[in-house]
């Protein structure tokens, strides 16, 4: 497990702004990956009212002209307002010139790298990322004590927050893109971190620039690990232009059509509890039809009088029914 979960952090030493009220944005990249890891990242800074805007005039990034882009100031990215302007409301905290960050899924890999370079150059901003390998996710989802993809993502969020707090950051507010049921996820986090205010909602990377920044960190972290990926089943000389899997790429699709075209054997795993308002895609597939929510148990279990109880454990009973 330790080899399947890796953590990366910003290189800056502890900063003076750690003691000020700080905010944090959390987003992910590569959810349910076929190749490469699922990455959740946290981006933090002092709250807008306390951030200094001096960096806006001093911080510059050398970006090649062929990229054809102008990177907005980091202060704008993190929702920092000029002293003479009133603080923006949450729904309007995303100014027009920050849309490149909010639409990070549509950016090219080179543009994401350039944006991350600016974030890394600013000592007034810190980040932390956690990568969960596909093997780790599959192992947990298919283990006897199974965990859904939502649960794994929620646990990763909690570890990121705990790591930020352990680093001495005075975290007062965290903005998180929804994973499953927003209210349920927020309640779990409040139970673990009662001193922190949480905003958990859909499309948070489009509403809150601090989450947009976390999205950039997550995607570039995944981009880099994917570019260094070595397929154990084939030669290292294999064509590596397989893309990143984000919607902005042409020809994006899930692996299900490939399996169906190859006449692969359909597999349906044991039913898993959904953890979300609209359910969750489980680890398994059946060509041409949706998997039923429940069905009769196999004769193997019936003959041995075994029943599946909470936690995925089989127990022997005196009287069992299908």
Indicate the annotated binding residues for a divalent metal cation. 27-28, 177
For residues 111 and 68, the answer to whether their CB atoms sit within 8 Å is: no
Burial tier of 102 (Cβ tally within 10 Å: 0-12, 13-18, 19+): buried
CA distance 110 to 90: 30
CA 125 → CA 59, 75, 144, 157, 217, distances in Å?
13, 10, 41, 19, 12
Show the CA angle centred on residue 43, arms to residues 249 and 29, nearest 5°.
25
Give 180-187 contacts, CB < 8 A, sequence gap 24+: 180/150, 180/153, 180/154, 180/275, 180/276, 180/277, 180/280, 181/275, 181/276, 181/277, 184/275, 185/154, 185/157
CA distance 88 to 305: 63
Six-digit token string for 164: 């930020």
Q: Which residues line the annotated binding site?
A: 27-28, 177
CA distance 322 to 308: 11
| 306-309 vs 313-316, strand pairing mode | antiparallel
């Amino acid at each position: 497990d330790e080899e399947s979960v890796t953590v990366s952090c910003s290189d800056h030493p502890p900063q003076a702004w750690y003691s000020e009220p700080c905010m944090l944005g959390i987003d992910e990249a590569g959810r349910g990956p076929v190749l490469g890891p699922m990455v959740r990242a946290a981006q933090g800074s002092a709250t807008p009212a306390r951030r200094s805007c001096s960096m806006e005039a001093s911080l510059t990034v050398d970006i090649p002209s062929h990229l054809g882009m102008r990177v907005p100031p980091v202060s704008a990215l993190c929702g920092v307002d000029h002293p003479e302007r009133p603080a923006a409301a949450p729904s309007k905290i995303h100014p027009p010139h920050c849309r490149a960050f909010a639409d990070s899924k549509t950016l090219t890999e080179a543009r994401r790298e350039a944006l991350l370079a600016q974030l890394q150059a600013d000592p007034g901003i810190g980040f932390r990322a956690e990568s969960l390998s596909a093997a780790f996710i599959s192992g947990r989802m298919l283990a006897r004590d199974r965990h859904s993809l939502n649960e794994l993502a929620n646990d990763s969020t909690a570890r990121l927050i705990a790591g930020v707090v352990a680093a001495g950051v005075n975290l007062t507010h965290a903005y998180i893109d929804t994973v499953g049921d927003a209210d349920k996820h927020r309640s779990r986090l409040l139970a673990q971190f009662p001193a922190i205010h949480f905003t958990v909602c859909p499309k948070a990377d489009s509403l809150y620039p601090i989450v947009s920044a976390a999205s950039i960190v997550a995607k570039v972290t995944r981009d880099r690990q994917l570019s260094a990926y070595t397929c154990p089943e084939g030669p290292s000389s294999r064509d590596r232009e397989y893309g990143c899997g984000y919607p902005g790429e042409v020809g994006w699709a899930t692996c299900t059509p490939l399996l169906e075209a190859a006449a692969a054997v359909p597999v349906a795993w044991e039913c898993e509890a959904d953890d979300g308002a609209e359910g969750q895609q489980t680890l398994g597939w059946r060509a041409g039809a949706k998997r039923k929510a429940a069905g009769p148990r196999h004769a193997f279990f019936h003959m041995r009088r075994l029943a599946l109880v909470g936690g995925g454990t089989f127990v022997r009973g005196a009287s069992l029914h299908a």
